[in-house]
Chain A
Amino acid sequence: METTVKKYTYKDFANDQEVRWCPGCDDYVILRSVQKALPETGVKKEDVVFISGIGCSSRFPYYMGTYGMHGIHGRAPAIASGVKLANPDLSVWVITGDGDSMAIGGNHFIHVLRRNIDLNIILFNNEIYGLTKGQFSPTSLVGQKTKSSPYGNTQPPFQPGELAIGAQARFFARIGGNAPKEMTDIFIEAQKFKGTSLVEVLQNCVIFNDGCYVKYTDKNVREDQQLFVEHGKPMLFGKNKDKGLVLNGLKLETVTIGENGIKEEDILIHDAKTEDPTMHQMLVRLEHPLVTGIIRSFQDVTLEEREDALTAQIKAKSEFRKTNDLFFSGETYQVN
């Protein structure tokens, strides 16, 4: 990226459109965090593209001052892949909801992760279909009462991180919808990361699923219920940072420093950058504490890098420069 880029503020990434989400919706927090993150990434405004599917969350591109496309339900990863392959210099972002990405768009979601194209995906997980007014989604809990499950949902949910890492996601982060500062930092890291980065935001829908995350995100319990991981640091949490994770056999276990002879050195150190996803999967699945922060950030070759290398190799070898070279090559004959 160029260094002569003028210093933007978040306002440069906003526009004059009236934002139409419900008052109090976490989507506002995400919007502002993205607008605050972008000036920190050094990317030029005209090089930024937001592609979305359909859903409340997918209205997002309309509120940005960048290039954008509000696509069709579930297909944003495919549209964005086309944008990025057409012009790898762009910074391409995908905005999607839990239904958009894991129900109708499940196929594109897993394949985009597998391919590792350099995109940034923000998954607004409110465990509900917002735009269609409150049906259960692939992340809704068993028993959850919604408009389409009045007696309680019977379909077990996906854990997005588990699905994503299973689909070979190289970068996965999770963050509460009420943590704008950490969220902004994660978006900056996601943009810097070469490859597909997926950020799951635990987004509260005030209308159809209010409070679904309060047990983790409420200011009073947050420090005890969430473990915010950072690469290279011990996995500690709690108000006094005295609780942490250790490995007991093949299971993660919560311990308290000072109890049962546990010392700080006994606490596991977070390694986000390792290729082996085993520990990342365990962290993603943990329910107490809920792990947030950048859980996985394994730097791998991107699809564009593979394609570029191949194209360069083939161009160097080929005798075809212009289509005429091809058309008149091989088995041609003259008619007089």
Chain B
Amino acid sequence: MITLEKNPNTETLDAVVIRFVGDSGDGMQLTGTQFSDTSAMFGNDVATFPNYPSEIRAPQGSLYGVSGFQVHIGSVEVSTPGDNLDLLVAMNPAGLKTNLYAVKPGNTIIIDSDSFTKKNLEKAQYETNPLEDGSLENYRVVQVPMTSLTKEALKDVEGLDNKSITRSKNMFALGMVYWLYDRNPEHTIEFFQKKFKTKPHLIEANTKVLNAGFFYAETIELIPNSYSISPAKMQGGTYRIIMGNTATAWGFLAAAEKSGRELFLGSYPITPATDILHELVKHKHFGVKAFQAEDEIAGISSAIGASFAGDLAITTTSGPGLALKGEALGLAVMIELPLVVVNVQRGGPSTGLPTKTEQSDLMQAMYGRNGESPVIVIAASTPANCFNFAYQASKLALEHMTPVVLLTDGYIANGSAPWKIKSLEEMPEIKNNLVQEVKENWHPYDRDEATLARNWAIPGTPGLEHRVGGLEKDRITGDVSHVPENHEIMTHTRAEKVKRVQNYIPEIEPEFAQEGDLLVIGWGGTYGSLHSAVKQIVEEEGYKNIGFAHFNYINPLPKNTGELLSRFKKILVCELNNGQFVNVLRMNFEEQKFLQFNKIQGLPFANSELIEKFKQIAK
């Protein structure tokens, strides 16, 4: 065990961005997660983003086999995984080559020099060795023979083969970074003890290597100074680090318990949504019924069946899967059953960029069905609030008897951040429209006067036997009807029911300027990037007349949207697509002029490009 000597040269920083990169087999995800968990426990605000190849086992050392994990930690509020790296840890040449672009000149790169062999340099398509050819002159490069130091540290540990020895060099790197940022390695050592319970030699080995890295960093003069990031000012409470997809899954668990309905998931695996399925299948102890179906159509169809039978039913997917679900989603609109469809967006069209993020399924969510087919569309905006919006999606579906599409994206779904744990008691009540008793003159399409939600009679209830289906229904009896006026009335009723959800969702509240020159608008997963860029330009660069409004409710829009827009001279809508939400706004507020800023590279907005754009427009 290490007794922590306070690092004497500690410099205090607000926030740092670190990226660990290496070969897929180098354990970078684990290294990054350990670092961010430790920092969170220390009280930092944290945002992380994993970046791994879409190939499962890409050839070792190749450029496309590079796996990375980025961590942004801060003593101030941290809302994105960050753009510019303060520290890059590169375990091989391919990792260095593919990530150097993100390191600002002057910042630090820690490199495993042992891995810069002729063979690895060739695989990374380096013609000369960057450690020798002067190309890294502008960076603070720390070359460490990590592989040999790891071997050395483990020479007395018995029962280790060569492979497990080289594989633990990631812990050497982690040890160094712990020292550098004044972190206590204890949390990670506890993690080894749990993980390798039955393999004491692995606990010993990993602990040894971690400590070796920690002491090495302390000993060598090569590292000029060390930084500390003091705890962030966060609201008091119990926290945990949570990934967006996990938060989504947990939001549904909470909604099921609160509403007293059992949770049914019908799903078919697809990146980047599959982790929600992975998470929910674990929770059979809560009675969760997670059904991996034969395709997306069966996924949603089974969920519709479960909803008909009285469950809180959901289906999870990504863009191509939502396309397949379209017809069934229309059925759910027609038969007016509660259903939540989660679309974790990725780059499209078609297979597109499966592991990259994009916001290009908004139109599909709104309109991707035949006929007049309105659904509620909402979008989560941070990894942690995926919990709230999954909960809210369930609540709206159950209370308004309509399908809800919940949009997240690859960026927030795979990213993680501290979540102030919500206990069930803090969550709002969830009502439902169940009918249990036979009333005289009862009809399946009888509606709640305020919400227009129809009532929900589920099989097993005596006396309420009825049929629903995709054919248009008589507005009173619910029997099949082809009467022209009835179809028009029913079409308006379904639209009005969704529209009235406005009365049950919060108004939009802008941040920063409440009126003025420029209103920056975003929606969904870009909250972190937009928020921090607007904050910077307002607070640090003196643009006091810029406001920021971020939308989570897309259909219907918050009631005060029009009034808000009228308070600003210019409106800039920023999206990771070719301009979809901006067109929703244009349709609703014809009198306004909307400027747009779009990025379609499968990447989140970078801080610098946002600031530049804001300045250009605000001047």
- Decide if B291 touches A81 in the complex (CB within 8 Å): yes
Q: For B294, what are the chain A residues with a Cβ–Cβ distance below 8 Å?
A: 78, 107-108, 111
- Decide if B467 touches A70 in the complex (CB within 8 Å): yes
Pick out which of these stretches binds chain B: A131-139, A147-155, A326-334. A326-334
User: What is the CA–CA distance of A70 and B458 in the complex, to the nearest angstrom?
Assistant: 15
Task: Indicate with 1 or 0, residue by residue over B214-235, a CB within 8 angstroms of chain A CB atoms.
Answer: 0000000000000000010011
B291 contact from A68, A82, A335, Cβ within 8 A = A82
Q: Any chain A CB within 8 A of the CB of B335?
A: yes
- Among A47, A62, A79, max chain B CB count under 10 A is at A79
Q: Any chain A CB within 8 A of the CB of B404?
A: no
Contact A81 to B459, CB < 8 A, known contacts A61-B467, A67-B466, A69-B467: no
Q: Which residues in window 78-116 of B have CB below 8 A to A?
A: none
Task: Indicate with 1 or 0, residue by residue over B266-302, a CB within 8 angstroms of chain A CB atoms.
Answer: 1000000000000000011111010101110110011
A64 contact from B241, B302, B461, B467, Cβ within 8 A = B467
For A, the interface residue count at a CB cutoff of 8 angstroms equals 57
Q: Which residues in window 156-197 of B have CB below 8 A to A?
A: none
User: What is the CA–CA distance of A104 and B283 in the complex, to the nearest angstrom?
Assistant: 34
Q: Any chain B CB within 8 A of the CB of A66?
A: yes
User: What is the CA–CA distance of A185 and B285 in the complex, to the nearest angstrom?
Assistant: 41
- Decide if B254 touches A335 in the complex (CB within 8 Å): no
Q: For B64, what are the chain A residues with a Cβ–Cβ distance below 8 Å?
A: none
User: What is the CA–CA distance of A17 and B469 in the complex, to the nearest angstrom?
Assistant: 15
Question: Which residue from chain A places its CB closest to the CB of B255 in the assembled complex?
Answer: A323
Q: Any chain A CB within 8 A of the CB of B205?
A: no
Q: Any chain B CB within 8 A of the CB of A234?
A: no
User: What is the CA–CA distance of A61 and B308 in the complex, to the nearest angstrom?
Assistant: 14
- Determine the main DSSP class of A at the interface with B: mixed
Q: Any chain A CB within 8 A of the CB of B613?
A: no
Q: For A1, what are the chain B residues with a Cβ–Cβ distance below 8 Å?
A: none
- Decide if A86 touches B310 in the complex (CB within 8 Å): yes
Question: Which residue from chain A places its CB closest to the CB of B327 in the assembled complex?
Answer: A72
- Decide if A87 touches B460 in the complex (CB within 8 Å): yes
Write the residues of chain A forming the contact surface with B, with a CB cutoff of 8 angstroms: 17, 44-49, 51, 54, 61-62, 64-72, 75, 78-87, 89-90, 107-108, 111, 307, 310-311, 314-315, 318, 320-324, 326-328, 330-336
User: What is the CA–CA distance of A333 and B46 in the complex, to the nearest angstrom?
Assistant: 13
Q: Any chain A CB within 8 A of the CB of B331?
A: yes
Contact A330 to B264, CB < 8 A, known contacts A49-B459, A323-B254: no
B425 to chain A, nearest CB (A): 8
Q: For B298, what are the chain A residues with a Cβ–Cβ distance below 8 Å?
A: 75, 78, 81, 107-108, 111
- Decide if B309 touches A328 in the complex (CB within 8 Å): no
- Decide if B468 touches A69 in the complex (CB within 8 Å): yes
User: What is the CA–CA distance of A108 and B241 in the complex, to the nearest angstrom?
Assistant: 39
User: What is the CA–CA distance of A324 and B308 in the complex, to the nearest angstrom?
Assistant: 28
Contact A310 to B284, CB < 8 A, known contacts A67-B467, A327-B421, A333-B238: yes
- Decide if A75 touches B297 in the complex (CB within 8 Å): yes
- Decide if A69 touches B469 in the complex (CB within 8 Å): yes
Provide a sorted-by-A list of 24 A–B residue pairs whose CB atoms are within 8 angstroms. Answer: A45-B462, A46-B461, A46-B462, A46-B463, A49-B459, A61-B469, A62-B469, A68-B467, A69-B467, A70-B471, A72-B327, A75-B298, A78-B305, A80-B305, A82-B264, A82-B304, A83-B459, A108-B298, A310-B284, A315-B287, A326-B286, A333-B240, A335-B231, A335-B234
- Decide if A335 touches B239 in the complex (CB within 8 Å): yes
User: What is the CA–CA distance of A64 and B459 in the complex, to the nearest angstrom?
Assistant: 14
A315 contact from B284, B304, B306, B458, Cβ within 8 A = B284
- Decide if B238 touches A332 in the complex (CB within 8 Å): yes
Q: Any chain A CB within 8 A of the CB of B303?
A: yes
User: What is the CA–CA distance of A17 and B468 in the complex, to the nearest angstrom?
Assistant: 13
Write the residues of chain B forming the contact surface with A, with a CB cutoff of 8 angstroms: 37, 40-41, 43, 231, 234-241, 250, 253-254, 257, 262, 264, 266, 283-287, 289, 291, 293-295, 297-298, 301-311, 313, 327-328, 331, 335, 420-424, 458-471, 479-480
User: What is the CA–CA distance of A80 and B293 in the complex, to the nearest angstrom?
Assistant: 13
User: What is the CA–CA distance of A17 and B474 in the complex, to the nearest angstrom?
Assistant: 13
Known interface pairs A75-B301, A311-B287; 4 further A-B residue pairs with C-beta atoms within 8 A, sorted by A's residue number: A46-B459, A61-B469, A78-B301, A89-B460
- Among B237, B306, B465, max chain A CB count under 10 A is at B465
Q: For A71, what are the chain B residues with a Cβ–Cβ distance below 8 Å?
A: 301, 304, 331, 469-470
Q: For A90, what are the chain B residues with a Cβ–Cβ distance below 8 Å?
A: 309, 459-460
Q: For B462, what are the chain A residues with a Cβ–Cβ distance below 8 Å?
A: 44-46
User: What is the CA–CA distance of A318 and B307 in the complex, to the nearest angstrom?
Assistant: 27
Q: For A48, what are the chain B residues with a Cβ–Cβ distance below 8 Å?
A: 459
Contact A83 to B328, CB < 8 A, known contacts A327-B423, A332-B421: no
- Decide if B470 touches A47 in the complex (CB within 8 Å): no
Q: For A75, what are the chain B residues with a Cβ–Cβ distance below 8 Å?
A: 297-298, 301, 328
Q: For A85, what are the chain B residues with a Cβ–Cβ distance below 8 Å?
A: 264, 289, 291, 302, 305-306
Contact A326 to B291, CB < 8 A, known contacts A46-B461, A69-B469, A320-B285: no
- Decide if B465 touches A66 in the complex (CB within 8 Å): yes
- Decide if A323 touches B291 in the complex (CB within 8 Å): no
- Decide if B422 touches A83 in the complex (CB within 8 Å): no
User: What is the CA–CA distance of A45 and B470 in the complex, to the nearest angstrom?
Assistant: 23
User: What is the CA–CA distance of A324 and B309 in the complex, to the nearest angstrom?
Assistant: 27
A193 to chain B, nearest CB (A): 20
B285 contact from A47, A68, A82, A318, Cβ within 8 A = A318
Q: For A84, what are the chain B residues with a Cβ–Cβ distance below 8 Å?
A: 305
- Decide if B264 touches A333 in the complex (CB within 8 Å): no
User: What is the CA–CA distance of A111 and B295 in the complex, to the nearest angstrom?
Assistant: 10
- Among A307, A310, A322, A332, max chain B CB count under 10 A is at A332
User: What is the CA–CA distance of A116 and B459 in the complex, to the nearest angstrom?
Assistant: 22
User: What is the CA–CA distance of A180 and B250 in the complex, to the nearest angstrom?
Assistant: 52
Q: For B293, what are the chain A residues with a Cβ–Cβ distance below 8 Å?
A: 78, 81, 111
